[in-house]
């Protein structure tokens, strides 16, 4: 089930490089070379468009949280089903710059491309392309393109397009356009790929084109959102040029006609802005879009580029992971971190889609991926972003309360399994709404955040309310069941492993619900002691009773956790061990992932896991289990896990590290670190696997370096994989910036920012003041 | 949850009578007064059409097994989901006879209806209507209509329409038409009511109209079926008349214009035929439809009526149940038996739809209702029909084999939960495909049939193959589970109670699967001994191995049956008792049926039953349980059963009878006996509840009279409900016709046909030769 693949792109520490263009790689490369800033996302499409065979490309531009809704059609509907879809839209295409050399239009697939290089520059935050083209009639040009989406200004993107005639004097035309005739990819049978949205969803409400400036105002039909997209253009050419405007039904454009001379470079800089009614009042959108594009032009491409570089310098300073002795992994992990940065919404109203802003798979929805897989990466590097991600959950708390009522819970909030706007939009509830653990995952993320960021302000203003409402949900959902020794049981839910659904007492869920209840209880006590006025305000606002809070404690203390005395393992749920083990031996390779080849009932009927479930709990609640328990459970579940989910291998790697299965830990890590870069699952074309990318970082920091935070104490238990020379990374923790370097026999910690700190290295308390070196105990 | 209702229709032993017409009752009455012969079904629509408010009527004509298919749309699809819908179509409307008095058109809602009576005549098999109408301009006519659908000729229906001017001489026009512009009722949210079919599905391929004859040839789009509907008309009038033909886009008609005289009756007889490409080659359809209508006309209305009466005389002779002392029940049970007769397909290619041929609820699909609820009624009264119903299952065996492969079963057949053509079309698998017990239900019906009909020919040619293939399915599905003492376990299925889904070891399913496996084993042994050439042929055809047959026995012998030692009851499934009991106290009445007001997860999470599940097994496998066990289980499950399914109360009544809960037995019986006639569920308008109707008969014969067949022996244990004087019924069993009359203290058995028989009365063996009387032991 784990695959071995050779590298697709040449190894390079800071760049992803495409050496030669092949149409069969185009679709995948559009994802690999995608740019984004957490708000705007652009697939790595060519400015000139793409003329290759259908099904080998997807022109895509996305705005985080900008979606259309349609009524979901069910074969047979029932009460409480998700009513409306939410699909992140493919929006106005602003990448367009078309080049005409005399009467010939440049495309990657016409004429002859004699030199070619495309680079995703992780340090600069740009996508660069340089090539030489010989037209069918023999005219040669050199083309250099640089594109970026600004990390500093979330509404801004820019393209610098340079063309130099190499063997002729003649007319060169450049068309810079905005195209509103955009549609989403329609898929009927695979929700992992696209949506069911048919045809053009965005209407064109207004078109503006004047001199170098153009704008489109577009509107969605059902959600009634408005979008403004504007461009400013500037041309630099030694020769004279002429400017014309064009406007068609869905498009506006500026055409520059230059009487070009051999070897004289022509540069077209394009400044693009996007802004929507989800950000700003509708009537201001056009003005603001225009302003942003203008501001970009005034600043100029080079200055924007400088800001981008500065932003990334800081990002890499705080975030970079160095691996000496394995350039492939070095490249993979940096590629992953860069894409994570590109994916994360950071306005408190948006989050991280399963495929970032690089594709349409899973419709741009936010899942538990954020809290459980991605949040640690930001929390220990850029805690500000992790707060914004949690604020997003607070912003949808009211909708979660409504959903709880719909699900017959008298109190509390039930967060949606998948959503953009806060409403549940999973159309298959056994692997959707039934995953109640989302509530505990969010609560757990708050706990993690509070431990590392000590952000009382967040707890007081947002966190406590989420904790109380999620705890209330568990209190209403669970029951003390006589048949189970009067323990607190949680029935008919689905755990993280989607190959078993609607079960009683899913081990992960119960463990995490217990944690949720306990932490909500603790938070209530803390708030009452430390911020009584806020406590009283919340109590009154939520009609919260003292007995409820005490009940949380009681439920947590009495939570039922399934355990099998004979095998001495935690069964995934009450009946998991009553099922036959999947017949792996007689399952042909092409039948994976199983869900694409077997009816859900067939899968649910067997002991077979799509992904870590109990094993995930072993990591997340690591201080609740002994090492022997971890090993026994790991051994049991590893045998029956297919890793059909990209969320699986990183967790197995971390736990393998902890129990000393270093070879396994390394192999699983290899699988996560370059999953998209080497296209292990063959579906990178549909977008990156954001959670897996963050899993890479977790494998290294939580896995190899053994970083944990238990009982408010930071600890490491580092190990250096055999083939590496050393690795180092930084951690932001309680206001400190700590550098960690792991070598074969020793680990050094360096306090780069903040005050001295008591922490633990290999089980021994240490007091970190400056740079200190300790030997590894492995 | 059990409701009390007062009678809607006046009590009458052999008639259902509507005394006065009210638009608000129209929709329901269309169901009550529906006619059918197992092939053609016509709702009780007026010949003139209906002009009442929208939503108070549904013009409907149906042909059993004549359907259209569409691709089922899912919010999120998965492997193995049912692909296409099947919807029994509303076909060519042939009921139309419009009456024009001078320039005024007669409708029930114009002018004034001064006398009115409508009668469903259960002895004659007709729907009769007589009324006096005063037109807005004061013209008075008497109208008498009689309609029948021939039990003798399944393709034939006839209407006799008589009109007499009462206070004028003048022009009377009668238009007899066929209308092909028909659509199905579209419902978005309630599959119990209608389908998702949008707009007109039947195209008009050809129209023929000549003199008194007319025909329409119509075609479905996706299933590519053809339908021919023809009419012959004849008019009897003393005065002269003129005949004209009309033909519009979708309609053909004959207009008779009569110069009518006061008090002179005009009679229009219409002979209607339906035949489809599911019956006959397409090219012959028109000729055959014409022939049948012609033949009807030649025979004449009175002769057809005579045949109808003869058919019903025989039916009632063999089938009638008499209840002395309770006319309401007498009427109810006859109404039910009549509708059952009208519903049953008897060509071996069709079956009994959940709502018969009276409405569009459940899309005309066949369920387990036939085998478990309806088959006994036919088996012990008209075994020929029950054989035809089982032959239908044989006809779809190949499709059931295909479905088994789709569901990853290497061998065997899996019958569809709901279907017309044999393909699964349940769009919600947890309460559809997951109900694997359908396989065992069919096998059980075969066993029942063989016991009572001793039809070795059926077993040899059809039954054995079904038994082998269903047994193979269980053998592949179940597993010997170590954790369960190496017993044979069946995981992830749904039992009859749809308020709990996808469970392990559903008690009913395992018990019935055990029976299926054992009976298949027995049948294999019998066939080998008695019909070796057929046995060998089957073994070769099915690649059946001796070890497989032995494995069936082993699986049956080692079947896991959940049992709770503490409560001494059979839990409905492995985890049923681990769930909290539903909070009935705080559930408002209007929240029933629960499925319309709670998300499935909320329901599945609780101990709450929609219908009998374990209790059904107590009845069906009655000799496997002691009386005390029956009582304990009954007591337990009754408290948590909502009877939201109309399949529930009859079973509770039967078991209540058996354990001596006579008052309960009677109350449940009352609920079933007049469920549609008194519209207990408020949804009779959407069609009859066929299974419940058969349940009535079962309540009486299996319940009060305690009839059982165990170990090849017929036995009775009769009881007379307090308020009755006596009841009697007949049973066809092993070629005998036996009359049974139960009085307060004694029961008489009369051997009406066939040879003497050893049987059991109240636990005592008796030898029935003629008419014998025994005292009741209660």
Q: What is the pLDDT of residues A751-774, one digit of tens each?
A: 999 999 999 999 999 999 988 899
Residue B452 has pLDDT above 80, yes or no: yes
Q: How far apart are CA B180 and CA B479, in angstroms?
A: 54
- Provide the pLDDT for residue B770: 87
pLDDT band at A2 (very low <50, low <70, confident <90, very high): very low
Residue A12 has pLDDT above 70, yes or no: yes
Nearest-neighbour CA in chain A from B480: distance (Å): 8
Residues in A closer than 8 angstroms to B189, CB to CB, are 77
Q: How far apart are CA A649 and CA B716, in angstroms?
A: 65
Query: Residue B487's closest chain A neighbor by CA?
Result: A578
| Torsion region of B115: left, alpha or beta (phi above 0 gives left; psi -120 to 50 gives alpha) | beta
B254: which strand partners?
A: B176, B245
**DSSP notation for A236-292:** E-SS-EEEEEEE-SSEEEEEEEEEE-TT--EEEEEEEEEEETTTS-GGGHHHHHHHH
Residues B85 and B270: beta-carbon distance below 8 Å = no
- Provide the pLDDT for residue A189: 63
**Residue found by looking up tokens 């030898």 in the block:** B767
- Provide the pLDDT for residue A778: 58
Residues B643 and B616: beta-carbon distance below 8 Å = no
Average of pLDDT values for A175-203? Answer: 83
Per-residue pLDDT tens for B388-398? 999 999 999 99
Mean residue pLDDT of chain A comes to 96
**DSSP notation for B432-460:** TTT-THHHHHHHHHHHHHHHHH--HHHII
When CB atoms are compared, the residue of A81, A575, A577 closest to B575 is A575
Per-residue pLDDT tens for B609-633? 999 999 999 999 999 999 999 999 9
What pTM value is reported for the model? Answer: 0.95
Which of B78, B437, B588 is the best mutation test for A, with the most CBs of A within 10 A?
B78
Beta A126-134 vs A479-481: how paired, if at all? Answer: unpaired
Residue B189 has pLDDT above 80, yes or no: no
Residue B327 has pLDDT above 70, yes or no: yes
- Provide the pLDDT for residue B5: 56
Residues A35 and A149: beta-carbon distance below 8 Å = yes
- Provide the pLDDT for residue B671: 85
- Provide the pLDDT for residue A153: 97
Is B498 labeled as catalytic in the residue annotation?
yes
Residue A566 has pLDDT above 90, yes or no: yes
In this predicted structure, which of A242-256, A755-769, B174-188 has the lowest mean pLDDT?
B174-188
- Provide the pLDDT for residue A199: 84
- CA contacts within 13 A on the Cβ side of A374: 32
Per annotation, catalytic residue among B18, B465, B498, B548: B498
Residues in A closer than 8 angstroms to B429, CB to CB, are 599-601
Residue B3 has pLDDT above 50, yes or no: no
Helix (H) or strand (E) holding B336: helix B327-343
Per-residue pLDDT tens for A532-563? 999 999 999 999 999 999 999 999 999 999 99
Average of pLDDT values for A688-711? Answer: 97
Local structure of residue A510 (DSSP, 8 states): H
Residue A192 has pLDDT above 90, yes or no: no
Q: How far apart are CA A730 and CA A750, in angstroms?
A: 9
The CA–CA distances, whole Å, from B3 to A283, A686, B502, B668 equal 59, 56, 31, 10
Per-residue pLDDT tens for A193-217? 767 787 889 999 999 999 999 999 9
Catalytic residue annotation of A: 498
Per-residue pLDDT tens for A650-679? 999 999 999 999 999 999 998 889 999 999
CA angle, A711 then A716 then A719, to 5°: 150
Q: How far apart are CA A651 and CA B409, in angstroms?
A: 33
CA dihedral (B500, B506, B507, B513) in degrees, to 10, reads 140
Residues in B closer than 8 angstroms to A79, CB to CB, are 595-600
Question: How much is the ipTM here?
Answer: 0.94
Average of pLDDT values for B540-551? Answer: 97
User: What SS3 state is found at A400?
Assistant: helix
Across the interface, do A491 and B188 touch by the CB < 8 Å criterion? no
Query: Residue B431's closest chain A neighbor by CA?
Result: A76
Query: Whose CA is closest to A624, among A556, A526, A723, A543?
Result: A556
pLDDT band at B776 (very low <50, low <70, confident <90, very high): confident
E strand residue ranges, A155-240: 156-165, 170-179, 203-210, 213-219, 226-236
Residues in A closer than 8 angstroms to B84, CB to CB, are none
Residues B439 and B372: beta-carbon distance below 8 Å = no
pLDDT band at B191 (very low <50, low <70, confident <90, very high): low
Across the interface, do A481 and B408 touch by the CB < 8 Å criterion? no
- Provide the pLDDT for residue A7: 83
Beta B713-716 vs B757-761: how paired, if at all? Answer: parallel
pLDDT band at B721 (very low <50, low <70, confident <90, very high): very high
Residues B160 and B145: beta-carbon distance below 8 Å = yes
Average of pLDDT values for B206-228? Answer: 97
- Provide the pLDDT for residue A671: 85
Residue A374 has pLDDT above 50, yes or no: yes
Give the 3-state secondary structure percentages of chain B, helix then strand then coil, rounded to 5.
Answer: 35, 25, 40
Residues in A closer than 8 angstroms to B502, CB to CB, are 430, 501-502, 601, 604
Residue A726 has pLDDT above 80, yes or no: yes
When CB atoms are compared, the residue of B433, B481, B578 closest to A491 is B578
pLDDT band at A54 (very low <50, low <70, confident <90, very high): confident
pLDDT band at B192 (very low <50, low <70, confident <90, very high): low
Instruction: Give residues with Cβ within 8 angstroms of B317, minimum separation 6.
Output: B730
Q: Is A224 exposed, middle or buried (0-12, 13-18, 19+ CB in 10 A)?
A: exposed
- Work out how many CB contacts closer than 8 A connect A with B: 154
Residue B531 has pLDDT above 80, yes or no: yes
């Amino acid at each position: 089930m784990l695959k071995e693949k050779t590298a697709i792109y040449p190894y390079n520490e800071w760049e992803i490089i495409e050496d030669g263009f092949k149409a069969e790689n185009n679709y995948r490369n559009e994802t690999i070379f995608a740019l984004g800033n957490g708000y705007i996302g652009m697939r790595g499409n060519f400015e000139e468009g793409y003329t290759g065979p259908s099904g080998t490309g997807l022109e895509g531009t996305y705005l985080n949280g900008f979606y259309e809704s349609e009524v979901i059609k069910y074969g047979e509907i029932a009460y409480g089903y998700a009513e409306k879809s939410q699909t992140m839209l493919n929006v106005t295409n602003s990448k367009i710059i078309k080049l005409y050399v005399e009467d010939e239009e440049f495309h990657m697939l016409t004429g002859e491309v004699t030199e070619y290089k495309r680079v995703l520059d992780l340090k600069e935050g740009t996508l660069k392309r340089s090539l030489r083209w010989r037209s069918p009639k023999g005219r040669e040009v050199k083309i250099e393109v640089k594109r970026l989406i600004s990390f500093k200004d979330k509404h801004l993107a820019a393209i610098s397009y340079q063309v130099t005639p190499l063997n002729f004097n003649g007319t060169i035309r450049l068309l810079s356009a905005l195209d509103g005739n955009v549609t989403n990819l329609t898929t009927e049978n695979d929700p992992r790929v696209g949506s069911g949205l048919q045809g053009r969803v965005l209407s064109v409400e207004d078109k503006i084109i004047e001199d170098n400036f153009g704008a489109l105002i577009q509107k969605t039909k059902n959600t009634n959102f408005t979008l403004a997209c504007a461009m400013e253009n500037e041309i630099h050419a030694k020769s004279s040029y002429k400017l014309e405007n064009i406007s068609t039904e869905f498009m506006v454009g500026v055409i520059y006609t230059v009487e070009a001379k051999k070897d004289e470079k022509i540069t077209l800089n394009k400044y693009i802005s996007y802004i929507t009614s989800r950000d700003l009042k509708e009537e201001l959108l056009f003005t603001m879009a225009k302003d942003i594009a203008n501001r970009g032009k005034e600043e100029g491409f080079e200055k924007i580029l400088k800001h981008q570089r500065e932003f990334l310098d800081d990002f890499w300073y705080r975030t970079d992971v160095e691996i000496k002795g394995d350039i492939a992994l070095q490249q993979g992990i940096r590629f992953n971190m860069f894409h994570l940065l590109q994916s994360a919404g950071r306005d408190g109203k948006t989050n991280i889609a399963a495929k970032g802003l690089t594709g349409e798979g899973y419709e741009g929805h936010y899942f538990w991926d954020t809290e459980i897989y991605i949040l640690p990466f930001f929390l220990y590097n850029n805690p500000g972003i992790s707060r914004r991600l949690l604020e997003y959950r607070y912003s949808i708390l009211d909708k979660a309360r409504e959903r709880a009522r719909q699900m017959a819970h008298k109190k509390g909030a039930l967060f949606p399994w998948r959503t953009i706007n806060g409403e549940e939009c999973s159309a298959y509830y056994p692997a959707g709404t039934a995953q109640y653990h989302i509530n505990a995952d969010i609560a757990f993320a708050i706990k993690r955040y509070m431990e590392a960021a000590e952000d009382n302000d967040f707890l007081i203003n947002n966190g406590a309310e989420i904790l109380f409402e999620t705890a209330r949900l568990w209190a209403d959902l669970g029951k003390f069941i006589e048949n189970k020794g009067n323990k607190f049981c949680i029935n008919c839910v689905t755990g993280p492993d989607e190959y078993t659904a609607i079960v009683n007492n899913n081990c992960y869920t119960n463990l995490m619900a217990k944690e949720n209840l306990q932490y909500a209880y603790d938070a209530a006590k803390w708030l009452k002691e430390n911020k009584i006025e806020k406590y009283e305000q919340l109590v009154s606002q939520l009609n919260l009773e003292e007995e409820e809070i005490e009940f949380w404690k009681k439920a947590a203390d009495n939570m039922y956790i399934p355990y099998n005395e004979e095998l001495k393992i935690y069964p995934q749920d009450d009946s998991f061990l009553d099922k036959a083990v999947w017949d792996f031996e007689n399952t042909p390779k092409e039948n994976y992932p199983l869900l694409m080849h077997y009816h859900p009932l067939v899968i649910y009927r067997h002991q077979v896991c799509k992904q870590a479930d109990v094993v995930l709990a072993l990591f997340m609640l690591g201080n609740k289990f002994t090492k022997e328990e971890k090993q026994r459970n790991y051994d049991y579940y590893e045998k029956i896990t297919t890793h059909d989910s990209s969320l699986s291998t990183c967790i197995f790697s971390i736990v393998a590290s902890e129990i000393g299965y270093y070879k396994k830990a390394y192999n699983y890590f290899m699988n996560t670190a370059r999953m998209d870069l080497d296209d292990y699952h063959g579906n990178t074309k549909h977008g990156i696997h954001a959670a897996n990318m963050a899993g890479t970082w977790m494998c290294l920091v939580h896995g190899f370096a053994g970083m944990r935070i238990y009982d408010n104490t930071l600890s490491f238990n580092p190990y250096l994989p055999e083939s590496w020379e050393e690795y180092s990374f930084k951690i932001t923790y309680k206001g400190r910036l700590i550098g960690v370097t792991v070598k074969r026999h020793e680990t050094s910690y360096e306090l780069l920012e903040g005050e001295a700190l008591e922490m633990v290295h290999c089980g021994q308390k240490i007091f970190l003041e400056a740079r200190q070196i300790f030997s590894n105990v492995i």
